[in-house]
Amino acid sequence: MWKSLSNIFRSSGSSSSQAKAGQTAPAPDPHAERNSGSTASLDLLWSKVSHLSNAEHRFLHPTYSPSSRVPCADFTSFIIERLKRNDVGSIRQLMRAIIAGNPGLGIGPEWIDELVNEIAGLDFTRYYRCDNPDFTLELKALFILGAKEGGDREFWLADEKPLLFAFALCCHDIQWLDGMEQLRDKANRFIRKMRKDTPFWETYPLFGPSLVPPQPVNNSPVVSKLLALPLLSRIHVHFFAERGAGSLMQSTTYKMRSLGVNPLETAQILLESGICQPASDHEALAEVFSKNELVAALDERAIPYRKSWGKRQLLGALSSHAPEFLAQVADRERTARIRPELLPDLRFLNSNAHKLQEGIKLLCFATSAT
């Protein structure tokens, strides 16, 4: 599935295809731009994610309220490809669709156009050096997605976004440049100002005189595999790596899902990538169940057990008497583990992401006027 999505992101934007059979595309936003190329590009995108989307608000998640602005899928590859083609209009249309259920009380959707335009035009060359030109496009795509919540990027210092973005970007080699000092000064002025009125910021640390640079990234197999993944799948796999094994379907947070991490999409991507491998052993399944759930499953099937047993022993009883039940659970939950040979490098990158996030926090203060 993820390969087919990647292919449409590389399309010319001038073709279109029919939406999923039996599902009617919602009426276009009356405020949307009428550029035919942008419209065709968005229609093609929706035809590929309609099975994941809200029936009335295309591009939004069907489970969450449209007012929460939760995308149904990872749209970063689409945004990156549109940036490469200088097709900011399609990006504006996509972001308008994402905020359509809650554009802001009495203000309309124009504010997201301004943020998309501003981020697309940012010049980061004075702040860092990266040999891979995709880094800047990926950073902008993540900033654009984050902009759906409105407000100034400065407040992302108090959010999880910088760390999540660092998870997506830590497979790149980054060198900070002298221009980061200017952003550090801006960030510290902002923190000092906020400390005057808001208790939260009183204990928020100022940025020191120098950033701790991320460690150099080697050309390990896991790096090449990560670079081939969509951005939000990278976030998912880093978060999953902290567990090592368990349910891919349950290994996301709301903050991740609010960006568009949908395990119905990303779990399959990670299994196909070769970073994760299916696992139905007791270690992986133990992450799926609570002890009470295991006891209930045993009681339902009249399987004997002892109250003193732990989860592994309870799973052993289920495995002996109801292996088909556990097989169904493993399939439904996409239980998996990180391939052992990749785990050390992945955990190194995970540690690197915590250093990288400090630089990403400062980059939130970059503006076209900086």
Q: How far apart are CA 6 and CA 49, in angstroms?
A: 12
Q: Could you report how far apart the first and last alpha carbons of the chain are, in Å?
A: 41
CA 203, 206, 209: angle at the middle one, nearest 5?
155
pTM for this entry: 0.86
Residue type, 363: L
Please choose, from the candidates 222, 174, 334, the residue with its C-alpha nearest in 3D space to the C-alpha of residue 269: 334
> What is the four-CA torsion angle of 342, 343, 345, 349, rounded to 10 degrees?
130
Three-state DSSP at 101 gives: coil
Q: DSSP class of residue 154?
A: G
Report residue 45: phi and psi, to 5°: -60, -45
Please tell me the distance from the alpha carbon of residue 193 to that of residue 186, in angstroms, as a whole number: 11
Cα–Cα distance for residue pair 186/273, rounded to 1 Å: 40
- Residue 153 CB partners (closer than 8 Å, separation 6+): 143, 146, 147, 364, 365
When computed from its CA atoms, the radius of gyration of the chain, rounded to whole angstroms, is: 22
Helix (H, G, I), strand (E, B) or coil at 143: helix
Alpha-carbon distance of 53 to 60, in angstroms, equals 5
**CA distances in angstroms from 301 to 304, 306, 316, listed in the order given:** 9, 15, 14
Distance of alpha carbon 306 from alpha carbon 331, whole angstroms: 27
Q: What's the CA gap between 348 and 202, in Å, rounded? A: 32
Question: Which tokens is 22 given?
Answer: 């039996």
Determine the Cα–Cα distance for residues 2 and 74; give it in Å rounded to an integer: 10
Residue 91, token pair as written in the block? 């990006």
pLDDT for 32 equals 43
Judge contact between 260 and 144, C-beta under 8 A. no
Contacts 24+ apart (CB under 8 A), 301-307: 301/325
* pLDDT for the residue 226: 97
pLDDT given for residue 37 in this prediction: 64
Q: What is the pLDDT of residue 360?
A: 98
The full set of domain ranges for the chain reads 8-17+25-121
pLDDT digits (tens, 9 = 90+) for 132-175: 999 999 999 999 999 999 999 999 999 999 999 999 999 999 99
The low-confidence residues of the chain, meaning pLDDT below 70, are: 1-37, 105-106, 369-370
Report residue 25 as tokens: 């595309």
Q: What are phi and psi of 26, to 5 degrees?
A: -65, 160
Q: What is the pLDDT, as a whole number, of residue 41?
A: 87
Q: Which residues lie closer than 8 Å to 34 by C-beta, 6 or more apart?
A: none
Q: Are 250 and 286 in contact (CB under 8 A)?
A: no
pLDDT given for residue 23 in this prediction: 43
